[in-house]
Structure formats: C-alpha cells, structure tokens
Structure 1
Amino acid sequence: MTTGSQTTRTASQGTPNRGRSGIVSGYVFRLIREQLGHTQDTLAELFRVSPDTVAGWETGRRPVTAVPVGQMLLYRHQLLQLGSAPALLLALERAMEADVLLAGALDEEAPADDHPIGAWVMQRDLVEVLSWPLNGVAPTPLRSLPDRPRPRRGPVPRGPVLPAADRRRFFSRMRQAAEQARGAERFLLRRQALYLAGYDDAADTSDWLAHQQRTARPDGWLTTWLNARSAAAVAARQGDRDRMGHFVKAVLADDDPGEAANLNYWAYWIGESAGLQLSDDFIGAANPGPWPGDKLMRHLVHGLTPNHGFFDLNVHTLWALLAARPNLLRPGTPTGKELRHVLPVMLDSRELSALARRELEGIRYAIRLAEA
C-alpha cells in the first residue's frame, strides 16, 4: 500500500504546476452570465471592464478571488439587478471560498497540518462546491438550472476542471494533513481531511482510509462516534452500504446520545442551525438543538432513494427527527405531502433492510396518528 508520505513525495517531484487558482468561481461566474443571457462582451460593457477581463475570470486566468472585496460587492449588486438568482450568487460566494481552500491545499510551502479546513466545521453548501472539481458532481443549487442556448466554439467542460497534477497534489496534501493532525486539538482538521481524501479514486484510497481508521486514537465518546460516522460515510460514498447499515444499527439505534448527535450533525450540515461552529463539541449536546427541523425533514425526504448509499441513514434520521419533532407531521405541509406520497413506494421496495422497513412503518403509523 502506498502511504500518504510516499504519495506526497511522488506528487511533488519536479516543478509543481499550480494550475489555475479560480477554476470553481470562474465556472460559476460563467453559469451566471449565461443564465442572464449575456455574452462576455455585453457583460464586460455593463461592468466597465474589458472582455478579456471577463474571460480571465471565467477561465481562472484572472481569478475572481483576486477582485477587491468592495468591487466584487458592486458586481454582485449589478448581477442581482440584472435578475440573477440569489442561490446562484450564494453558490458564487461558496465557490470563491472553495478556490481559496484549493489554492491553500496546493501550496506545498504551507504546513499541511495547519490547513484552514481545520478552522471550522464545514457545511454541505461549501463541501459540495469544494468537491465539485474532485468528483464531477454539481452542487445542489446548480442541478436544476433552466437550460439556455449557449453558443460556444468547440467542446466545453460540464464543470470546473482541476488539472490532473493538481488533483493528485490536492489528495496527497489531504493525506499528509490527516496523518500529521494527531491529537484532540487537531481532530477537526484530521476528520475533514479524511473526508475530502475519500473523494480520491486512486486504487489504494480504501486501504489507506481503513488504515487511518484502525490507527485512530479517539480520546472520548464524541471523537469515537465521529470516527465511526466518517468511516461509514466514506464507505457509503464508495458504494459500501453494509458499513453504513452497521453504523445505523450498532451505533445509532437505541442510543440516546448517538441519536442526538446524529440530529445535531445533520441540522448543522444542511444549514438548519444558525451560525458557524469552530469545533465539533456542539454535536455532543445531550439533546437536539433549538432548530425547527423543517429544512432537515425536506432534505431527508428528498434523499429517500433505496439504491442510495445513505438511504438507511436517511430513513433512520427521518424517523428520529419525527420522534423528536412530531409537529413536523402537521397536515398540509408540502414536505409532509411528499412524504405521504413516497412512503408506499419505499415500502414496496425489496431492497429495504429490516431496520429501514420497520422505521418506515413507524413513520407511516405516526402520520396516521397526526391525521386522526
């Protein structure tokens, strides 16, 4: 098995090709321009810049992240006035943040164990954008964009493209960060570096991740729980549903602290709970936080797809959420109607685990009680 250190030495041989430092924000900026129906020339005229400047933003040759903050705010206001969707502009903000993190990871002169991904607990809207050039999966807000005619010369990528050398360097740096970030004070950096390293499609990724999990030395209940969840999540993303099923059955079910931690984690991950967290401590609260749950319920219901690697976890989390927030089943809500519609379809599936089927039956019974 190739170790992270060996991978780092291989990836860093010779003069590093830094690639472009604004590939994600540039791609999102181009999507915004195209959705508005503008060409590079017409948008450049409105912004009072040269067409070459707009082209540089979109290719990453002149990174959007290098535009002064005040000027970028003015451009944002202009895009809003032109009719750009707020969700797209929020995606642009996250893309700029992702580009900064990518550039930091590719900077081999910066200490790997001091990477900013360990500064705060990341949420889904950022992680989806950050992982876009790594796995080719577009972030949720960009998956339902209406199609517009886009006359272009020659083939174009369907997402931001990270050069192969930079891609290898990024994963090498994430492995290095995870290996060096030992100890309770750097657990967050290690956990999030391992999560991002799990997007690597290299042949030794699964073995390397398994080795990291075996050699982990959790210093308490919460870090043990988070290690188990991270291992199950990475395995599910790589197609191993059994690991996730074991996590749900052995770690979550019938464990009150684990159930509360799972709900707190999910609520923060999708942006239901307010504010940013600088450590994982909030996850270990004895009870679910004061967030309402409507957004989390909508997210979980949309994820009820039996062949999805996170299906068992989605079902169990929805079951636990409705037990903690029974008011979410009040009649008449759009998400409640969608849940009532998909439940029979889910229960007809032959792919359900025994636990998932039992919990879906419990949800159906709870719906009947709410309607009585």
Structure 2
Amino acid sequence: MPLYLCVDCGGSKTSAVICDGDGQIIGRAYGGSSNLAYVGFEAFMNAIRISVGDALKTCVSPPSVEPVSLPPSNLTFAAAWLGVSGVDSPAAVASILQPLSDLLGIPMGPKLAVANDTHLLASPVQRYPDVTSAVAVVGGTGATAASFRKAVGQLEEVGRIGGWGWILGDEGGGFSVGREAIRYILARNDRDSVKRRGSLPLAKEGSLEDRILRYFSCNTIMELLNEVHAADPGSISSSAPTTQLTAPHLSLTREKRLSSLSPLVFSAAFENNDTEALAVLQLCAGMLADQIAVLVGERTEEQPGLVSANESVLSFGGSLVGLKVYRKMVLDALTEKGHVFRRVEFVDDAAASGALALAVRYKSNA
C-alpha cells in the first residue's frame, strides 16, 4: 500500500498527515514548532521525528502504542512533501534534504519535495484540471503570497512577494491590522486636537477607540504610545512600578501587543458597525490585494513570471483570511483591479491538502 506523507512545518506547530493511494487519511499527528529559522536544526528535526513517528502509529492494524522509530522498518513512503517555514532559499533547502532523506527513508530526488510552507497552500492546483497555475496567500499574523505553475510532477514557483516579517512588512496580516488600528485613531486624535481646543469627547462604548483604550488600560489616546512602545518582557527593569510589571499586555512582546488587537478590530467593525474599524480592515485588505496583484497579469516576454487570474486557483491559508468577511474584502479589492480568479479556496489543513495532492499526482502518473 503506497503511503504519502505531507508535513506542514509551522512556527506554532508541526502537522504530519499520511494518506493512502486513494487519498484517504490514515495517519495524523502533531509536534512542536518547526520553523527552521527560529528553532534551529536539532529542534526542527526532532519535531519532524515526533510528529511523523506518531502519525505512523495509526497506519498499522491494530494501531501501535509503542514509539515508532524512523526510518520506518515495516512501512515505506512512496513520496513526501514538506512545507517548512523559515526555509526561504535553495541553500536552506539543501541543508536539510539529506538529513530528511535519512530520517524518512526516502532517496533524495523528486519523491522527496522540500520547500517553503507557502507551497503547500498551492496544492489544490493539482486537483483541478481546469487551472494551470495557483496563487497561494498566507494571511495570519504575517502575510505573504507566492505564485506557481503546474510542472511535470511538481509545482514551479514563479513569483513571490512579502513575508518580510513584522518589522519590515506583513501588510494585510494580523499585525498589520493591529498597527493600522492604532495609527488610525492616533491620526484622528491629532487632527481633532488641531481643530478643537480643550477636551475631546469620550469614546463611544464598543467603538474601535473604546476597545483599544480598555485593552491597554488607558484613559486617553496619547497614553497608548507608552503602552505600545514599552519594553518587551524580560527587559523591563525590576524597579518598574508593580502595575507596569503586571499589566496583561506587557506580558506580550511588542509584536504580539499589536497583532492581538486584530479580534478587537473585527468585533468593533461587525458587532458595533464602527466606521473606523471597517476602514482599517478595508485598508489592510487592500494592502494584501496589492501584493497579490503584483503576481497576476498577462504573461509576456517582458513579464514571464506573471500568472493569469482566470486560469488560476487562489488559495488562502491563515487565521485572518480564514474569516469569510476579510476574504471577501480582499477578493472585492482584487475585482476592482480586474483580477477575478477561476477558483478560490481556503485551505484550513495544509498538510492534509498536500498529502491528497501527492496521492492524486502519483495516481494520475501510474
């Protein structure tokens, strides 16, 4: 029985899925973080070893309760596909190919595919005969997009944009939503302060301003600056006031303080119909659409890396674009730019989608 393995190696967890030749999932397990750039080689390999070994336990009858060593002695993988966060260059891929080949018992070659985890989001292109290309969009805390074309037995990446991290980019992701929300109310406060003398009106309950002020335990908008810029946990002086040391938002890094605001923005927008929150989401959705649009258009000799939207599947993945209302905002912004995709899909289980794509690919080649 051919077994197909797909491993989604993310910053928060590792997801390993095994399916048979008919595309039925027969094994699944999870491990810890496996972002190669963040955790390093040893922790990365250990996360793969644990997640794949645990997934293999359910591939035998009766399911094994004993640890499964790798490479497996009584089962073999027909092919494997690993999407690894923190792998952004051929050199990074090359550094882990041989160790993964040894660990999984798969010879180096086309049956062992290792690439950035964005590639897994493009896996639906293998299931649709009416599309020739894919644009994969990650929209969680961060944001990035990549375009792919079908090639013989594999996907060929032809373009990529974003994924620079929160300091340099991530426009359209959860961090971006939080940052733009703060910027929006700060800018409005500055404008109002110029126009008016004296105190400004109190924030309306449930509004974007009200929710953010309460989150940071602030009475006025300008107090937000100290809370947002306060030092990261671990670097706060022991002589700081007790209230500063125990404030919940100060237990988060500055990046997380902003990205954790995203749910508040959505609540203000869709529970209280707050115009400022809606404007922030429209702005951020437009930023993400702008990035996607860079990859899409008519392919020419001068622009050979573009893909046509009407011949492509747009695959979304990530917590933020998992929200239908936000996906619609992105799609509406793309439509305004003249880009309407033949198919649109949200991939909520990249490892399962990748394993199924492997089974479909090899079955069609049999």
Higher strand share: 2
Is this a same-fold pair by TM over 0.5?
no
The alignment's TM-score, normalised by the length of structure 1, stands at 0.28
Which structure has the higher relative contact order (CA within 8 Å, separation 6+)? 2
The alignment's TM-score, normalised by the length of structure 2, stands at 0.28
Q: Give the greater-gyration-radius structure (CA).
A: 2
